[in-house]
Amino acid sequence: MLNNDYIVGLVDGEGSFYVRLNTDKRRRNKVELKFSLKLRHQDKEILEQLKSFFDCGNIYIQRDKRPNHEICYRFEVNNKKDIINKIIPFFETNPPRIKSRSRDFELFKQITNLSQKENLDLQLIQSLKEQMHWARSIRENRLYCGEPSSS
Span 126-140, pLDDT tens digits: 999 999 986 555 555
Q: Which residue has the higher pLDDT, 151 or 98?
A: 98
Per-residue pLDDT at 11: 97
Distance, CA of 110 to CA of 83 (rounded, Å): 12
In terms of average pLDDT, the best of 3-12, 58-67, 115-124 is 3-12
Domain boundaries, the chain: 4-144
Which residue, 62, 50, 56, is CA-closest to 78? 56
Ramachandran region, residue 41 (left: φ > 0; alpha: ψ -120 to 50; beta: rest): alpha
CA Rg value for the chain:
17
Per-residue pLDDT at 140: 54
Q: Is the pLDDT assigned to residue 61 strictly greater than 90?
A: yes
Per-residue pLDDT at 151: 44
- Fold held by 4-144: Endonuclease I-creI (3.10.28)
Distance, CA of 49 to CA of 125 (rounded, Å): 32
Q: Is the pLDDT assigned to residue 7 strictly greater than 90?
A: yes
Is pTM beyond 0.85? Reply is no
Question: What would you measure as the largest C-alpha separation in the chain, in angstroms?
Answer: 49
Distance, CA of 132 to CA of 111 (rounded, Å): 11
Long-range contacts at 27-32 (CB < 8 A, ≥ 24 apart): 29/80, 30/115, 30/120, 30/122, 31/111, 31/114, 31/115, 31/120, 31/122, 31/125, 32/78
